[in-house]
Amino acid sequence: MAHRTSLTLALLSAVSLAACATTSTPGAPTPKNLAGVSPEVYAIHQSFMTLDTHLDTPAFLDSARGYNIMERHSYERDGSQVDYPRMIDGGLDGGFWAIYMGQGPLTPEGYQQVRDKALIRATSIQKMVAANPSVFEIALVSADAKRIFDSGKKIVYLSMENSYELGEDLSLLDSFYKLGVRMAGPVHNGTNQLADSTNPGPVGAKWGGLSPMGKEYVKRANELGIILDGSHSSDQTIEQMIDLSATPIILSHHGCDGVYEHPRNLPDALLKKMAAKGGVIHMNALGSFLKDLPQSKERMEAMQALRQKYANSDQLTGAAYQAFLDERVAINKQFPENRATFEDYMEQILYAIKLVGVDHVGFGADWDGGGGVAGYDDVTMLPKITDRLLKAGYTQEDLAKMWGGNVVRLLKTAEDYKASLKK
């Protein structure tokens, strides 16, 4: 316990220092309309406060080779999808930057190891902002979103994907709240101490939804004013979260079973139940959740050989990393990946809107976490959504809700509930 407390205090001190940073960065680049929409639609899109509710980019920040968020990267080259120049082009104003941790063993040692990594990830996000204070700002309350947007900076809310790192100490949720977390989901791939997962793994569907600790987790998240995120949770877990939570829940990167049945997609009845309590589904653009995508034997064999040649590719740096990228690009050219398309993604979006309405839909494409489809490869393509929805007859007011207004409403509701407990 002493180690946890001292480490948390040290990180909070680092956050305080980060907030005082005064270094400046060059002015924002001129936006480029790379999405191919009309100038009129591009201008409309750029006028929205556009938030994505699940950005996995922070996983790059504390990797062996690091990641300069201020430099333009290439999806075709390195597979990345979010950086500051591309956010400018796509009109992405920020969102929820994820502290993602993979599932490990349900042991004290496993909990401690991943807890420390999660705290490092949280401070990596803070350092990204501290290094670039003229273009990024941490957001802590719902009102911060518009204030930061109006200032021209990018909005950085923190979220926690998988709360496995809490171990058996629920007070750690308070610590992550102090580090900025305002959205949290109990589970990822693999059932853990809090809940059953859509992909339960070796533990199996142990709890029939939430564990006893998971139910306390829901209660504590409500008390802190944290939005509860059901993505990656089993349908039973999601239903129990809807029933137990005092405030609406979110599915930060999810899909609809009504279009394509998949464990990571939600049945219509459950989606309607979530919406009836004010919740929001943010649409995931990960291809295998949109349709069946069998790959050629040649591609699978080539990719397997590449993985064997470059074991632990996440740890590669310098020339070795560039050689790995060269070979992967060559494989992609010789044996193209069978990918879902932008039309497949739009089918999911339009279905969700028709099912539950514009007040209950948003966008969480799973950028830098596997999301993206052919024709919608990175955040420069966001205006294509605006273009299609305007053509489908939705208004600018409708789009403003889906691009950012709905999730800000959820955060305000969570804050209001927290405040009501003090009266």
pTM: 0.93
Mean pLDDT score, 38-52: 98
Q: How far apart are the first and last CA of the chain?
A: 32
pLDDT computed for residue 119 by the predictor: 96
Mean pLDDT score, 322-350: 98
Mean pLDDT score, 50-58: 98
Residue 11 pLDDT > 60: no
pLDDT in tens, 217-260: 999 999 999 999 999 999 999 999 999 999 999 999 999 999 99
Q: Give the span between the Cα atoms of 42 and 39, in whole angstroms.
A: 5
**Considering Cα of 123, then 104, then 222, then 245, what sign does the dihedral take?**
positive
| Side-by-side strand order, sheet with 265-266 | 265-266, 250-256, 280-283, 361-363
Mean pLDDT score, 65-89: 97
Helix (H, G, I), strand (E, B) or coil at 254: strand
Q: pLDDT-derived band of residue 14, with 50, 70 and 90 as boundaries?
A: very low
Helix (H, G, I), strand (E, B) or coil at 251: strand
Mean pLDDT score, 31-48: 98
pLDDT computed for residue 13 by the predictor: 41
pLDDT in tens, 119-131: 999 999 999 999 9
Mean pLDDT score, 21-35: 69
pLDDT computed for residue 20 by the predictor: 38
Mean pLDDT score, 399-420: 98
- The residues pairing with 99 across neighbouring beta strands, listed in sequence order, are 160
Residue 163 pLDDT > 60: yes
Are the beta carbons of 279 and 242 closer than 8 angstroms?
A: yes
Residue 6 pLDDT > 60: no
Q: Give the span between the Cα atoms of 404 and 274, in whole angstroms.
A: 18
pLDDT computed for residue 312 by the predictor: 87
Residue 3 pLDDT > 50: no
For residue 114, the one-letter residue type is V
pLDDT computed for residue 244 by the predictor: 98
Helix (H, G, I), strand (E, B) or coil at 55: strand
**Considering Cα of 100, then 102, then 104, then 109, what sign does the dihedral take?**
negative
pLDDT computed for residue 28 by the predictor: 77
Using CB atoms within 10 Å of the CB of residue 173, give its burial: 0 to 12 exposed, 13 to 18 middle, 19+ buried.
Answer: buried
Please list, residue by residue across 383-410, b when 16 or more beta carbons sit within 10 angstroms of its beta carbon and e when fewer do.
Answer: bbbbbbbbeeebeeebbbbbbbbbbbbb
Residue 197 pLDDT > 90: yes
Q: pLDDT-derived band of residue 22, with 50, 70 and 90 as boundaries?
A: very low
Residue 415 pLDDT > 70: yes
- As a whole number, the mean pLDDT across the chain is 94
Spatial neighbors of 397 by CB under 8 A, at least 6 apart, are: none
Mean pLDDT score, 87-102: 98
Using CB atoms within 10 Å of the CB of residue 37, give its burial: 0 to 12 exposed, 13 to 18 middle, 19+ buried.
Answer: buried
Mean pLDDT score, 176-194: 98
Rg of the chain over CA atoms, in angstroms?
21
Question: Chain-centre distance of CA 30, in angstroms?
Answer: 26
For residue 336, the one-letter residue type is P
Q: Give the span between the Cα atoms of 51 and 95, in whole angstroms.
A: 4
Are the beta carbons of 237 and 162 closer than 8 angstroms?
A: no
Query: What is the DSSP pairing of strand 181-185 with strand 250-256?
Result: unpaired
pLDDT computed for residue 27 by the predictor: 66
